[in-house]
Amino acid sequence: MNPVNYLYLAALLFTIGAAGVLIRRNAIVVFMCVELMLNACNLAFVTFSRMHGNLDGQIIAFFTMVVAAAEVVVGLAIIVSVFRARHSASVDDASLMKL
Amino acid sequence: MENLIALLIGAPLLGAAVLLLGGRRLDRTGHWLGTLLAAASFVIALVLFVDMLGKGAEDRALHQTLFTWIPVGTFQADMAFQLDQLSMTFVLLITGVGTLIHVYSIGYMEHDERRRRFFGYLNLFVAAMLLLVLADNYLLLYFGWEGVGLASYLLIGFWQHKPSAATAAKKAFIVNRVGDMGLSIAIMLMFTTFGTFAFGRVLEASDQASEGKLTAIGLMLLLAACGKSAQVPLQSWLGDAMEGPTPVSALIHAATMVTAGVYLIVRSADIFNAAPDAQLVVTVVGAVTLLFGAIVGCAKDDIKKALAGSTMSQIGYMILAAGLGPIGYVFAIMHLVTHGFFKAGLFLGAGSVMHGMNDEVDMRKYGGLRKYMPVTFVTFGLGYLAIIGFPGLSGFFSKDKIIEAAFAKGGTEGWILGAVTLLGAAITAYYMTRVMLMTFFGEKRWQPDAEGHEPHPHESPKSMVIPMILLAVGSVGGGAVFEFSGFVEWLEPVTGFEHGHAPISAAAVTAATVAVMVIGVGLAYLQYGRGPVPVVAPRGSLLTRAARRDLLQDDFNHAVFVTGGTHLTRSLVYVDHSLVDGVVNGTAAAVGGLSGRLRKLQNGYARTYAVSMFGGTAVLIAATLLMRAV
């Protein structure tokens, strides 16, 4: 099967993730969409690794997973504490950084 | 011997310091200390004078360097003095007449509770003037020059509780600043041209500089001289300076202050000799001032202001003579010295009259005082005869020489200057006779003042009378002594001298001088001597009324400088507000408005920021691809 199709899939997943980040209000869903974008990137890395015949892309995919895991820990902790403080997980409610 | 020069200045300076810092403990003795130190300075001057007479003409100049005043790299300003024949003449005049005025002030200021301070200022004045004439470079001269300005300010405004005196002091100081600016510019020009301030080196090198530069230096020096010597156009302070106590007026007009301008020009003779255009301006200023002062003197009813007009006029003679070049320098100084005697005598006489008349200055309220104040009458009368140039008295010799030199200038200029000096002599005779007749002759015209005190004119105390007698002796004999003792040969090594060749003979000039004097005296007698003098001044002609207002000098200054200056600053303020502030404020408003709009982008929604991040990334990727495609 032509490896380019995997790239199309990665692009599709990335777009869905990006659209979710921009459109959705629920912090959990936005967070999941960020993960979706990261995994789309991972898919692209692995695909390129296969196409070019070296392992660099696969190694970077592992790095991405580690970073994503760390990010999940921090990000979920923030979301939980925001939820506790404001009784809402909507990102629009946390729009305090403005004059 | 040269070590004594610093003592000349040191004695009065010490007096000023002790009297001004000493406090009330010196109230009882301060005036004696001040007088003693001024006299000490005079004695030192006499010692130096005798020593100088014993030497040959060429090695009479003494130098003393105390220390280097301002050492900056190769630039050096020395605290150094030079005593040559010209300085010696001034030193004798300043300390001699100055000491007499100190003695006089003991009596005159007896009832003033601030007498100690007054003597401190007098000593300061004398010290500053001595520094001015003894300096051996222009920078040190400038120091003395400013000291004279300060001391005159303090003394003119001595009765500072009177608003008029305080204003007069400020006026004198400010008008003098204009002249001082001229001197400082002249000194800067000298430094850029010659690289030094020392008299010796500047004056020796003066024929190497371009004439344009020398003319500029000369004109700036003239501006300085105009300020200190009250010459047109900076003459307006002199009349108001009469607000000071009378001894101060005598000191300013005879020994210190107004003579400084003449000294400056004669001292800078080499510069003026090489700049004929500047010399011409000097003579014009002198000629204009001598008529200006004389006309003002004719109209004033205030005895001191009439004498002030007279001083302005006589200094005009000196400046004119100094502008004539080597044919005139010596006579300028000669007239300066004789004038120092008779003008000091006249002012002290006027002070004596005021002392006896409850400080009344209006001559229309005097009359017939010769019976009450015989000594004042005689001494004032001798001063009067000297100033109008009565044959044989001092003014006759010195003024006659200036008139002769003016004719000897040659050409049309010579005739014009000669005519002006003759006319000035006639007016001098007129206004001085007027003063004399109104004060000492006729019927008594004084009346009780508002509180019913009638003045009881009386002769002044001995301390005031003796200086007047001594000055009268000087007024009588001074001219003849100078004429026959070789004053010309004495000054010649410093100022240079050439015999002028007048188109008319010396005898004719003398005859003309005496004739115009008689005419002036006669006119004044016809007007003031035959009938009673009205107590209230008549309206007078247009010229009289203008002269009473000092020929509108203050109106002119007000219209040109005050009003003009106000309009200038107003327009500058307008430009500042509209243009300069407009640019600054406009920039600020534009930046502020733009930021106000940009601020709206910051709405706090996380996704808006995310959009801008995505957008930015997209643009970057697009740009990268585009660059690669190209």
Q: Which helix (H) or strand (E) holds B104?
A: helix B85-108
- Tell me the two tokens of residue B238: 């002199």
Q: How confident is residue B105, by pLDDT bands cut at 50, 70 and 90?
A: very high
- Does pLDDT of B198 surpass 90? no
- Does pLDDT of B24 surpass 60? yes
b/e sequence A42-57, b meaning 16+ C-beta within 10 Å: bbbbbbbbeeeeeeeb
- Does pLDDT of A15 surpass 70? yes
Q: Which residues of B touch A (CB under 8 A)?
A: 599, 602-607, 610-611, 614
Please give the DSSP secondary-structure letter assigned to residue B105. H
Which chain A residues have a beta carbon less than 8 Å from that of B603?
95, 98
- Tell me the two tokens of residue B174: 């400010």
Q: Considering only CA atoms, which of A28, A77, A84, A93 is closest in space to residue B604?
A: A93
Terminal C-alpha separation, chain B: 97
- Which residue from A22, A95, A99 is facing B610, i.e. has the nearest CB? A22
Collapsed DSSP state (helix, strand, coil) of residue B380: helix
Q: Considering only CA atoms, which of B294, B258, B293 is closest in space to residue B517?
A: B294
**Among B192-196, B441-445, B472-476, the range of highest mean pLDDT:** B472-476
- Of all residues in chain B, the one with the smallest CA distance to A24 is B607
Determine the Cα–Cα distance for residues B618 and B614; give it in Å rounded to an integer.
6
In this predicted structure, what is the pLDDT of residue B256? 82
Contacts of B628 (CB under 8 A, 6+ apart): none
Determine the Cα–Cα distance for residues B214 and B212; give it in Å rounded to an integer.
5
Residue pointed to by tokens 């344009």: B212
In this complex, do A97 and B602 lie within 8 Å of one another by their Cβ atoms?
A: yes
Determine the Cα–Cα distance for residues B566 and B556; give it in Å rounded to an integer.
14
Terminal C-alpha separation, chain A: 54
Choose between B620 and A85: higher pLDDT.
Answer: B620
CA distances from A99 to B411, B597, B605 (A): 89, 13, 12
**Cβ pairs bridging A and B (under 8 Å):** 25
Choose between B570 and B200: higher pLDDT.
Answer: B570
Residue pointed to by tokens 């991040």: B613
CA distances from B334 to A1, B262, B287, B410 (A): 127, 11, 18, 22
- Residue A74 touches chain B, beta carbons under 8 Å: no
- Residue A98 touches chain B, beta carbons under 8 Å: yes
Sort B179 into a burial class: Cβ within 10 Å, 0-12 / 13-18 / 19+: buried
Q: Return the C-alpha torsion angle B87, B90, B92, B95, nearest 10.
A: -120
In this predicted structure, what is the pLDDT of residue B380? 93
- Of all residues in chain A, the one with the smallest CA distance to B601 is A98
Q: How confident is residue A97, by pLDDT bands cut at 50, 70 and 90?
A: low
Domain A4-86, CATH among 3.40.50.300, 1.10.287.3510, 3.60.110.10, 3.40.50.720: 1.10.287.3510
In this complex, do A95 and B606 lie within 8 Å of one another by their Cβ atoms?
A: yes
Determine the Cα–Cα distance for residues A49 and A36; give it in Å rounded to an integer.
20
Q: How confident is residue B168, by pLDDT bands cut at 50, 70 and 90?
A: very high
- Does pLDDT of B132 surpass 90? yes
- Which residue from B604, B611, B614 is facing A96, i.e. has the nearest CB? B604
Q: Considering only CA atoms, which of B6, B149, B130 is closest in space to residue B64?
A: B6
In this complex, do A98 and B607 lie within 8 Å of one another by their Cβ atoms?
A: no
Q: Considering only CA atoms, which of B105, B147, B1, B121 is closest in space to residue B63?
A: B1
Percent of chain B whose predicted confidence (pLDDT) is above 90: 57
CA distances from B501 to B274, B404, B514 (A): 20, 9, 21
pLDDT digit string (tens) for B533-592?
888 888 888 888 888 888 888 888 888 888 999 999 999 999 999 999 999 999 999 999
Least confident segment among B118-127, B178-187, B202-211: B202-211
Q: Which helix (H) or strand (E) holds B65?
A: strand B62-72
Q: Which helix (H) or strand (E) holds B175?
A: helix B163-194
Nearest-neighbour CA in chain B from A23: distance (Å):
7
In this predicted structure, what is the pLDDT of residue B492? 87
- Does pLDDT of B453 surpass 80? no
Percent of chain B whose predicted confidence (pLDDT) is above 70: 100
Interface test with A, best of B597, B598, B599, B605 (most A CBs within 10 A): B605
pLDDT digit string (tens) for B251-290?
998 878 899 999 999 999 999 999 999 999 999 999 999 9
Residue pointed to by tokens 């004399």: B436
In this complex, do B602 and A99 lie within 8 Å of one another by their Cβ atoms?
A: yes
pLDDT digit string (tens) for B299-313?
899 999 999 999 999
Specify whether the CB–CB gap between B223 and B179 falls below 8 A. yes
| pTM of the shown model | 0.80
Sort B155 into a burial class: Cβ within 10 Å, 0-12 / 13-18 / 19+: buried
In this predicted structure, what is the pLDDT of residue B282? 95
Specify whether the CB–CB gap between B261 and B228 falls below 8 A. yes
- Does pLDDT of B333 surpass 90? yes
Q: Beta-carbon neighbour count of residue B143 at 10 Å?
A: 18
Which chain A residues have a beta carbon less than 8 Å from that of B607?
21-23, 91
For chain B, the farthest-separated pair of C-alpha atoms sits apart, in whole angstroms, at: 121
Answer yes or no: is the ipTM higher than 0.85: no
Q: What region, left, alpha or beta, does residue B7 occupy, with left being phi > 0 and alpha being psi -120 to 50 degrees?
A: alpha
Residue extents of the structural domains in chain A? 4-86
In this complex, do B602 and A96 lie within 8 Å of one another by their Cβ atoms?
A: no
In this predicted structure, what is the pLDDT of residue A5? 93
pLDDT digit string (tens) for B350-395?
999 988 888 888 888 888 888 888 999 999 999 999 999 888 889 8
Angle, vertex CA B252, rays to CA B552 and CA B433, nearest 5 = 65
- Does pLDDT of B77 surpass 90? no
Amino acid (one-letter) located at B286: G
List % helix, strand, coil for chain A (3-state, nearest 5): 80, 0, 20
CA distances from B454 to B146, B311, B351, B370, B450 (A): 43, 32, 19, 18, 9
User: How high is the mean pLDDT of chain A?
Assistant: 90
Nearest-neighbour CA in chain B from A95: distance (Å):
4
Q: What is the mean pLDDT of residues B235-239?
A: 90
| C-alpha radius of gyration, chain B, whole number | 31
Residue pointed to by tokens 């040559």: B84
Q: Which helix (H) or strand (E) holds B147?
A: helix B138-156
Please give the DSSP secondary-structure letter assigned to residue B80. E
Q: Considering only CA atoms, which of B273, B266, B262 is closest in space to residue B84?
A: B266
Nearest-neighbour CA in chain A from B616: distance (Å):
14
- Which residue from B603, B604, B611 is facing A22, i.e. has the nearest CB? B611
- Residue A23 touches chain B, beta carbons under 8 Å: yes
Q: What is the mean pLDDT of residues B6-12?
A: 92
- Does pLDDT of B53 surpass 80? yes
Specify whether the CB–CB gap between A13 and A43 falls below 8 A. yes
| C-alpha radius of gyration, chain A, whole number | 17
Specify whether the CB–CB gap between B237 and B152 falls below 8 A. no
Determine the Cα–Cα distance for residues B431 and B295; give it in Å rounded to an integer.
8
Amino acid (one-letter) located at B11: A
- Residue A21 touches chain B, beta carbons under 8 Å: yes
- Residue A29 touches chain B, beta carbons under 8 Å: no
Please give the DSSP secondary-structure letter assigned to residue A55. S
In this predicted structure, what is the pLDDT of residue B540? 80
- DSSP secondary structure of B494-553: HH-------SS-HHHHHHHHHHHHHHHHHHHIIIIISSPPPSSPP---HHHHHHHTGGGH
